[in-house]
Amino acid sequence: MHYFANSRFYSSLLRHRLKTLPFLTQQEGLASVSDALYGHLKDRSYGSVERSLSKVKPKLDSRCVMEVMSRCYPQDPQLGLRFFIWAGSQSGYRHSSYMYRKACKVLSIDKNPRIVCDVIGSYEAESCFVSVNMFREVFKLCKEAELYDVALWVLSKLGSFNMRADTMMYNVVISLCCKRGEIEMAGVLMKEMSVNGLYPDLITYMAIIEGLCDAGQLKDTYSVLEGMRLHGCSPSSVVLSAVLDGFCRSGSMIRALKLLDEMEKEGGDCSPNVVTYTSVIHSFCKRGQHAEAFEILDRMKAHGCRANHVAVVVIVESLCVKGRVEEAYRLIDKLVEEHDVSYGQCYSSLVVSLIKIRQLDEAEKFFRKMLAGEIRPDTFSSGLLLKELCMKGRLLDGFYLLDELENKGYLYSIDIDIYSILLIGLCQSNHLKEAAKMASLMLKKSIPLRPRYGENSALNVLSKNGERDLVNQLLDMQKRFQ
């Protein structure tokens, strides 16, 4: 059903509106473009949706695409999907990864995968021209929604449009096969690629290798590596690290260490990197084999590779879980001296690990030693400790700790809920001097009160204590953020 009976008049009106876009505000311009696109989307006088849309040549952006797509749901999700596919194939515009996620959510593609098949069927029924780029958009949506069966079906339908799949399309379907555990089908598709004159690339091999590792078919990964070499696609440290990680996850540490030896000997592009070593360290720590994990640290140093923050967290947390806190503390000096990791990173990891094993007092004591020694804690450890103090009802301690962090310039982007919890808790506990200071800090940092914590009672307490001006400023700021 048309918006207007006279489609020629409507098209003329739309063209006029588009010509006036440069003189509109940004919001009005966006509305005009989305209105024009939506109007042409509903106008069937041109024979097909895509042909009608091609009459409008606006500058697409993600906000405009989202607006049009949202207007199509729930009344006509298929129309919204056709628009999304068309938009992604237009020159000068590309959907971001975020947009594929939003499209799947807005159009409920994951809950109603049939919609993709219906769109392909409508292309066929209308003898609509479908470009390779449009099919690529379909495959990207299948990848995002993890529609294995649909992607396989779409691959089989390409012949109906006189098309052959390219490497990108095969990679999507092969990746979905591997995630589904359909390794045999992935192998069939790789052979089909060769028949069609295509060769697997690094993405193809990575998908197959990860699929084999997940399926526990570790021996077959060596065959894949040999196949890569035969096709002139030499395994890099990224590929080999994926294989090694698969060995570690399956508990095949002998195989993992053997592969690590091979990578170190071969060198060059195959040299193990920090991710490779950290994977082995994590596996040993998970099994409580800390001596072996420390040996890997020494191997890293010998091969000119330094441990990163992830490796520090893995080792420190593992030791704390086993009750070996003193050993974790001693290890920090080694990590700092031999791997150039900062004391701030290491000590922050120790604080977080102590909190996780429910040793809050020890974590707080250690954290305060950091501050006394001018060692800067990271955002995560600061926020986690403050949150734990609030949960334990130690609001005054939490306030003074936050105040100290602020004075030292150590506060970054901790959870803003903590400010509201502290302010309201201080008011309820009648610590009014500290509450007023907390409110002033929130104003200074433009942090609004969180309504779900029942701010009214706290504001009433402050107001009655002579802080009416402060309360009014908090309320004004809160309105700006609503």
Q: Where would I find the H helices in 394-454?
A: 395-407, 417-428, 432-444
Kindly indicate the confidence band of residue 399, based on its pLDDT and cuts at 50, 70 and 90: very high
> Which pLDDT score, from 0 to 100, does residue 39 have?
82
Kindly indicate the confidence band of residue 452, based on its pLDDT and cuts at 50, 70 and 90: low
Please report, for residues 135, 172, 237, 279, the alpha-carbon distance to residue 217 in angstroms, rounded to integers and kept in the order given.
Answer: 33, 21, 20, 19
Residue pair 56/18 in contact by the 8 Å Cβ criterion: yes
> Which pLDDT score, from 0 to 100, does residue 30 have?
46
> Which pLDDT score, from 0 to 100, does residue 10 have?
36
Name the CA radius of gyration of the chain, rounded.
30
27 pLDDT above the threshold of 70? no
Enumerate the domain spans of the chain.
Answer: 306-409, 416-482
**422 against 449, higher pLDDT:** 422
> Which pLDDT score, from 0 to 100, does residue 100 have?
96
What is the chain's length? 482
- Is pTM beyond 0.95? Reply is no
What is the rounded distance in angstroms from the CA atom of residue 99 to the CA atom of residue 422?
38
What is the rounded distance in angstroms from the CA atom of residue 425 to the CA atom of residue 387?
13
The phi-psi region of residue 145 (left if phi > 0; otherwise alpha if psi is between -120 and 50; otherwise beta) is: alpha
Q: What is the mean pLDDT of the chain?
A: 86
Q: What is the mean pLDDT of residues 355-384?
A: 93
**234 against 62, higher pLDDT:** 62
Share of the chain above pLDDT 90, in %: 54
Stretch among 114-118, 250-254, 418-422, 463-467 having the lowest mean pLDDT: 463-467
Concatenating the DSSP letter of every residue in 335-371 gives: HHHHH---HHHHHHHHHHHHHHTT-HHHHHHHHHHHH
- Biggest distance spanned by C-alpha atoms of the chain: 82
- Structure token digits, residue 25: 């505000």
**470 against 82, higher pLDDT:** 82
Q: What is the mean pLDDT of residues 325-347?
A: 91
Q: Which residues contact 127 (CB under 8 A, 6 or more apart)?
A: none
CA nearest neighbour of 18 among 2, 40, 3? 40
Please report, for residues 252, 275, 473, 474, the alpha-carbon distance to residue 481 in angstroms, rounded to integers and kept in the order given.
Answer: 53, 41, 13, 11
Q: What is the identity of the amino acid at 143?
A: K
> Which pLDDT score, from 0 to 100, does residue 31 have?
55
Sign of the Cα pseudo-torsion (119, 121, 124, 126, in order): negative
- Structure token digits, residue 57: 């040549």
Residue pair 332/317 in contact by the 8 Å Cβ criterion: no
The phi-psi region of residue 181 (left if phi > 0; otherwise alpha if psi is between -120 and 50; otherwise beta) is: left
Q: What is the mean pLDDT of residues 235-248?
A: 88
- Structure token digits, residue 295: 């040996």
> Which pLDDT score, from 0 to 100, does residue 470 have?
81
- Structure token digits, residue 135: 């099919």
Cis peptide bond N-terminal to 74, omega within 30: yes
Q: Which residues contact 348 (CB under 8 A, 6 or more apart)?
A: 370, 377, 378, 380, 381
Kindly indicate the confidence band of residue 14, based on its pLDDT and cuts at 50, 70 and 90: very low
> Which pLDDT score, from 0 to 100, does residue 176 have?
96
Strand intervals (E) in 149-204: none
> Which pLDDT score, from 0 to 100, does residue 82 have?
94
List, for residues 273-296, the tens digit of each pLDDT value.
999 999 999 999 999 999 999 999
List, for residues 112-156, the tens digit of each pLDDT value.
999 999 999 999 998 888 999 999 999 999 999 999 999 999 999
What is the rounded distance in angstroms from the CA atom of residue 208 to the CA atom of residue 199?
14
